[in-house]
A = this chain, B = another copy of it.
């Protein structure tokens, strides 16, 4: 923590955009478990790495997260190391409206907190190989931001990528720096170009990739927003007022839906006279698809990126991602194979972007495999659906030492619990009793009950549910340690969660 001690009195803030849709890394990512939550490279998940990276430049209480309610729960579970400091730093959008509204809302809040606030805006799910150089780039950007520039970081392109935006700097308009300019005014922003154009850009050496990482004074951004997107700006002001007045998220849905869905690149940067680009080289990758994983992940001598229980015979340059289940591959070249407990993807690397289309099909079919994993994390532990069938569901439930689930009852299902590890304290109606590995108990429907781990090791139980209806929304919460509402959950889907 010493590293940001010197910056404690600066006006630098981090704004992490953490509202991914979980389509591009399906089936490892899901709608409710997007890429930022994945441990794709290294020991930490991408959002943990993103926070860690910002901590080189600022204390944790200066880091804000813009996300939605469902994902916030998962993010909090991953950021427990900074739980207290981040507690008030979540801005929850009722739905995603692209980056301009998310960033605008954060800027309004920051200016109120600190009129001099300078904000680094960055996605939660990018990889940056050299965090020290990232920290250095922030220092450079901060200088230009203080002069009122809207700074974006430009990456030297290494291939004619048609999925990115490009930036052309005005080389005659160098900014800051005495010998060598720190950055340049932007000549133009270019939306995703076609392949010949992209090839020309790469060859010319005169264009940068737009990294989607920005740095500016919150007040500068708001000035531009007010001028270029006055309707959006007014809408955001109104929403900020509602939040200030204590409106619930469901009350924000309507005004939020009226906001224009627009990116900050398109809505602000493209037409701003203050846009600047700082060339950087901190090993950036947006890891935009399974096909691009090789940019950042460790490859073996055959060029394969391999994970989990894979038995391979002679594959080359492929992404072979398994988990516990066995995946056998023979003689694959430039392929992607991703296996998860409930779904498997197989495609050539060059078509990995099309996984979005698969998720689209699954969404139409209301297939559960696009929404959530079989294992769901909760503040008290986790549960894994082992099997579901007509009239029954089998789960393995884990409870962290000292934690307990809500005191709850179900109208339509009975439950049986068999302890397989640890110690359980069970509340059933008026009774409270303890169980150990090998013990079991039954919870009739309509009976208030609670599962608690009074021990020092993880409690694990097998839960067998019986009943005509087994949706997660058949729950009446009578008391909860985690502030979850004492009512039936309403979700936007027939797949209910919450336990």
| A→B interface (CB under 8 Å) | 26-27, 311, 313, 325-332, 335, 337, 339, 342-348, 351-352, 354-355, 357-358, 361-362, 367, 369, 386-387, 389-392, 394, 396, 414, 416, 418, 420-421, 437-438, 440, 442, 460, 462, 464, 466-467
A320 CB to nearest B CB, Å: 9
Residue pair B327, A346 in contact (C-beta under 8 Å): yes
A469 CB to nearest B CB, Å: 13
With A330-B355, A391-B421 already in contact, 11 other A-B pairs whose C-beta atoms are closer than 8 Å: A325-B344, A326-B343, A330-B345, A337-B346, A392-B420, A392-B437, A394-B394, A416-B416, A437-B466, A462-B464, A464-B464
Residue pair B391, A396 in contact (C-beta under 8 Å): no
Q: In this complex, what residue of B is CB-closest to A384?
A: B387
How many copies of this chain are found per oligomer?
2
Considering residues A26, A326, A337, which has the most beta carbons from chain B within 10 angstroms of its beta carbon? A326
A233 and B359 alpha carbons, distance in the complex (Å): 63
A313 and B356 alpha carbons, distance in the complex (Å): 11
Q: In this complex, what residue of B is CB-closest to A325?
A: B342
- 6 A-B pairs with CB atoms under 8 Å apart are A313-B358, A325-B344, A330-B345, A346-B346, A389-B420, A391-B437
Residue pair A332, B311 in contact (C-beta under 8 Å): no
The answer, among B355, B387, B440, for a CB contact under 8 Å with A328, is B355
Q: In this complex, what residue of B is CB-closest to A420?
A: B392
Taking CB atoms, residues of chain B closer than 8 Å to A440 are 416, 440, 442, 464
A392 CB to nearest B CB, Å: 4
Q: In this complex, what residue of B is CB-closest to A327?
A: B344
Residue pair B342, A330 in contact (C-beta under 8 Å): no
The answer, among B326, B348, B467, for a CB contact under 8 Å with A332, is B348
The answer, among B327, B358, B464, B466, for a CB contact under 8 Å with A311, is B358
A27 CB to nearest B CB, Å: 7
With contacts A361-B311, A389-B420 taken as known, whether A354 is within 8 angstroms of B330 at the C-beta atoms is yes
Residue pair B346, A326 in contact (C-beta under 8 Å): no
Residue pair A335, B325 in contact (C-beta under 8 Å): no
Residue pair A329, B346 in contact (C-beta under 8 Å): yes
Residue pair A390, B421 in contact (C-beta under 8 Å): yes
A386 and B462 alpha carbons, distance in the complex (Å): 11
What are the 3 closest A-B residue pairs judged by CB atoms, nearest first?
A: A330-B347, A392-B420, A438-B466
A391 and B357 alpha carbons, distance in the complex (Å): 42
With contacts A325-B343, A348-B330 taken as known, whether A357 is within 8 angstroms of B313 at the C-beta atoms is yes
Residue pair A358, B328 in contact (C-beta under 8 Å): yes
Taking CB atoms, residues of chain B closer than 8 Å to A348 are 330-332
Taking CB atoms, residues of chain B closer than 8 Å to A416 are 416, 418, 440
Residue pair B420, A391 in contact (C-beta under 8 Å): yes
A23 CB to nearest B CB, Å: 12
Residue pair A313, B354 in contact (C-beta under 8 Å): yes
A2 CB to nearest B CB, Å: 41
Q: In this complex, what residue of B is CB-closest to A436?
A: B466
A420 CB to nearest B CB, Å: 4
A26 and B330 alpha carbons, distance in the complex (Å): 13
Residue pair B394, A386 in contact (C-beta under 8 Å): yes
A352 and B352 alpha carbons, distance in the complex (Å): 24
A329 and B348 alpha carbons, distance in the complex (Å): 9
Residue pair B464, A420 in contact (C-beta under 8 Å): yes
A329 and B438 alpha carbons, distance in the complex (Å): 42
Residue pair A466, B418 in contact (C-beta under 8 Å): yes
Taking CB atoms, residues of chain B closer than 8 Å to A394 are 386, 394, 396, 462
Considering residues A335, A343, A462, A467, which has the most beta carbons from chain B within 10 angstroms of its beta carbon? A462
Taking CB atoms, residues of chain B closer than 8 Å to A414 are 438
Residue pair A418, B464 in contact (C-beta under 8 Å): yes
Taking CB atoms, residues of chain B closer than 8 Å to A345 are 328-330
